[in-house]
Structures are given as C-alpha cells and as structure tokens.
Amino acid sequence: MEKGYFISFEGVDGSGKSTQIKKLKQYLEGRGYHVVLTREPGGTAIGEKIRDIILDPENSDMTDMTEAMLYAASRSQHVSRVIEPALVQGKIVICDRFVDSSIAYQGYGRKLGDCVGIINEFVIGENLPDLTVWMKIKPEITSSRMKYRQKDRIELEEIDFHQRVYDGYEKLEKAFPQRIIGIDATNSIDDTYKAIIDRVEMLLKRNE
C-alpha cells in the first residue's frame, strides 16, 4: 500500500485554522480519501492530559524548557500512536499544529532557540509533513478577534510574544519553501479555502 499524505496547519492563535481544516477534510472525503483529523498538543489520551497541564493558566510557574519538553512528549505519543500508523495505512493526516508550532512558539516566542528543533528531530524522525499550510495573519489583527474568548496560558502572553511567533513562522516559510506555504488569511473564508485547495491538489498530483 502507498504511504498517505501528511498535512499540517499552522498560524498564530485565532488565525482561522479550524474553519479551513474542517472544509479541507470535507473536500478530501468528497474525493474519496480516508482522512484522519487530529491536533496538537493532544491527539491521544496521554497527549490530551499533557495538553491540559500545558494550557492551564494556573501553571504560571512552568519553565520555558518544561513547556517545550511537554509539547515534545505529547508529539512523541501522537506520532507513534496516530500519525505514523495512519500514514502507513495510506490515509491523509490533517494535523492542527505540529513541529513548526514548537519552533515558532518555544524557539522564537520563548527564545529557546535551536534546541527546540533538535529535541523534535528525535521525536518526529521521518514524519515531517508533506505540506504545511501557514495561515498568514498578524497577531495584532487576530488579538482583536479573540478579545471575548476565554484565553489559555499561551494566549494570555503579551503581544510581543505573539509577534515573535509570527516572525518565527516567517523565517520557517523562507527556510522551507517547498514544504511551508504561507496563505493570506486576511482574505475571505472562501478565497482562503480556494488557495489552500490549489496547494493540496498540487501535492496530490505530485504522486499520481
């Protein structure tokens, strides 16, 4: 059986990822693909427990390195138990956030630097996404969208932190232009959707 496709979605909080992920899943299922939709941190029973610890606003004493390690631990479980098995079975895995979130948020946002990528190399092995859709929208725009939402520990960070995360994504897009595609997420839901479908179709055609 042929290996499946791995697509991840990235972006600052409130960038409209979930809406687009749902639409893409429907589109691919309509074309007859078997889609596994999952998310990080989380995606497994153990990962969801780790997620609760990471995002709990009461855990304000957590060190940046502990945070990076917990995201990596959740990912390790997720890759072994969900992502890799689904890819081996020829399914399409759509993941709401993956390793680029750690590099953008912990590497750049928390300023932990290169060690984040190094830790995660051990965690993900060969399981790098075939396509990463970066929903490109600046945090100053999304922060006004999120004003009334209850915020988790990461969302409660200052705007400077979220700006560094955005800059981190921009650097990643430049470093991996084949894999990471920045999609202008300030456009309408439909225009953004069309742009994403174009890129996904290019990926599917690559192996036809």
Residues forming contacts to ligand TYD in the complex (CB under 6 A) are 13, 17, 40-41, 55, 71, 96-97, 101-102, 105-106, 152, 154-155
Question: What are residue 182's DSSP bridge partners?
Answer: 134
Are the beta carbons of 62 and 110 closer than 8 angstroms?
A: no
Pick between residue 4 and residue 43 the one whose CB is nearest to ligand TYD.
Answer: 43
As measured in angstroms, the least distance from the Cβ of 14 to ligand TYD is 6
Pick between residue 40 and residue 130 the one whose CB is nearest to ligand TYD.
Answer: 40
Residue 186 token pair:
């300030």
Rounded to whole angstroms, the Cα distance separating 200 from 161 reads 31
Amino acid at 176: F
As measured in angstroms, the least distance from the Cβ of 52 to ligand TYD is 11
Rounded to whole angstroms, the Cα distance separating 108 from 161 reads 8
Q: Which residues contact 131 (CB under 8 A, 6 or more apart)?
A: 5, 6, 7, 8, 179, 181, 199, 200, 203
As measured in angstroms, the least distance from the Cβ of 177 to ligand TYD is 22
Amino acid at 195: A
Pick between residue 58 and residue 208 the one whose CB is nearest to ligand TYD.
Answer: 58
As measured in angstroms, the least distance from the Cβ of 105 to ligand TYD is 3
Query: How close are the terminal C-alpha atoms of the chain, in Å?
Result: 14
Rg of the chain taking only CA atoms, in angstroms: 16
As measured in angstroms, the least distance from the Cβ of 206 to ligand TYD is 26
Pick between residue 18 and residue 26 the one whose CB is nearest to ligand TYD.
Answer: 18
Q: Which residues contact 87 (CB under 8 A, 6 or more apart)?
A: 3, 4, 5, 6, 93, 127
Which residue number places its CB atom closest to ligand TYD?
Answer: 105
**Residue 107: HSE in the Cβ half-sphere, 13 Å Cα cutoff:** 21
Pick between residue 97 and residue 136 the one whose CB is nearest to ligand TYD.
Answer: 97
As measured in angstroms, the least distance from the Cβ of 98 to ligand TYD is 7
Pick between residue 48 and residue 204 the one whose CB is nearest to ligand TYD.
Answer: 48
